[in-house]
Amino acid sequence: MAKIGEAKVVTTDVFEMGSIPWKSFNLDTSAPSSPPTTLLIFTPTVPAAYTVIVFYHGFFIPPSYYTQLLSRIVSHGFIVVAPQLFWNGLPMFGSDEIKYAGEVVDWLVNGLQPLLPENVEAKLEKVVLLGHSKGGKTAFSVALGYAKTTLKFSALIGIDPVGRLSKCKATESPPKILTGVPRSLNLNVPVAVIGTGLGPEKANILFPPCAPDGENHVEFFNESKPPKANFVAPNYGHMDMLDDVTPGIFGTVLAKCLCKNGKGPKKLMRETVAGLVVAFLRAQLDGDYKDFDAILENPGIAPAKLDDVEYITA
Measured CA to CA, the distance from residue 213 to residue 200 in angstroms comes to 6
Amino acid at 2: A
Measured CA to CA, the distance from residue 291 to residue 280 in angstroms comes to 8
Measured CA to CA, the distance from residue 246 to residue 61 in angstroms comes to 9
Task: Using alpha carbons, select from 242, 247, 245, 222 the residue that is nearest to residue 232.
Answer: 222
Q: What backbone phi and psi angles, to 5 degrees, belong to 278?
A: -65, -45
Residues assigned a catalytic role: 133, 160, 238
